[in-house]
Amino acid sequence: MAKRLLIRAQPLFLAVAVVFIGLLLRSQWATLRNHSWRLHGGWFLLSGLFMLASWSLEVGIWQHLLRLMGGRLPYLAALRIWFLSAIIRYIPGNIWQPLSMTIYCQNYNIRPEASFTSVALYQAVNLLAVAPIAAFYFPVTGNWGLLTNLLSAFAPWLMALGLLPVILFLARPGWLMACLNWALHKAGRQPLTTRLSSRELLRLLFITAFNWVLWGASFAAITFALGDYTHSQMLMLTPHLIAVYAIAYAIGFISFITPSGLGVREGAFYLLLVPLMDGGGVTVAALAMRLWTMFGEGVMALLSLLVGRVWPLKAPEGTLRGEPT
């Protein structure tokens, strides 16, 4: 019943997110009018290049995880599946993207259990990789945004709480697979026998953390493309923008109330960056990054569709890969 209520409430959550963004824009309207605007094409290009590099690495990480689950997929096919499924996540409900990826992977004879688990494991590693970034950023900078006075006294406990899942899963990586197999069991699917070593998980966390740095660099570049910043301001803001992007993205993702964290992520940006930048600049950067990412995903999805006319996502019939051994 709770699941049905949550699904039915998704349009309401989406409407609340849109209203929240509208209120945020309204509250910063005077600042936006007085903001020093500029449009620097070089920074836009750099942001796009960082974004492409991030996507390339993301697809490689997912392809590797899929291989660990017993499913083998050519990189170009994985790239197309990634973008054809990415645009679906903006539909209310958080199941459409992994469901779409699972369906596409079946064209390559990959079992749904293997593809679903690879997506779930990717998301888990993606979130776990944010914890070390946050654990480094908050103590070093002392910036908790608008909540600095409230949370600074609890900083050691909050950092320990954030790092606890990372430490536990690194010490017992089998627990992570056990959680995923429990989810498969609840969904009426057969569990996977794949094992994940501590060394493999640590390597994935390092690579994923580097990918977050690439995304943060893309966010920093588009921020500088839309405002008038001095070189000293850019040097000061860059590490904050890079770290805060990963933290805000994770907050938006785990909110689970709006598609792709719409509104929640933008609110987190505002909460964490306002002490460092004017509110209008933060609002513009957050919304610009959202639109920039959606535009890029749309372009890549369109290219994937066009390529599909001559190279369909189809594999010869055969035994499904990723079957229990």
Q: Hey, where are the domains in the chain?
A: 38-73+118-296
Question: Do residues 255 and 276 lie in contact, with contact meaning Cβ atoms separated by under 8 Å?
Answer: no
- Cβ count near 59 (within 10 Å): 19
Question: Given this model, what pLDDT does residue 212 score?
Answer: 97
Q: Report pLDDT for 12.
A: 56
CB 221 within 8 A of CB 215: no
- Tens digits of residue pLDDT in 57-89: 999 999 999 998 888 889 988 998 998 887 776
Dump pLDDT digits (tens) for 101-121: 888 888 888 888 888 888 888
287 vs 265: CA distance, rounded Å: 10
pTM of the model: 0.81
What is the distance of C-alpha 129 from the center of its chain? 11
Identify the segments of the chain with pLDDT beneath 70.
1-37, 89-96, 184-193, 256-262, 308-325
- Distances in Å between the Cα of 245 and the Cα atoms of 166, 184, 267 are 20, 31, 12
Are 219 and 198 in contact by the 8 Å Cβ rule? The answer is: no
Residue 54 pLDDT: 97
What pLDDT is recorded for position 15? 58
Which pLDDT value is given to residue 159? 81
pLDDT value, residue 39: 76
pLDDT at 324: 44
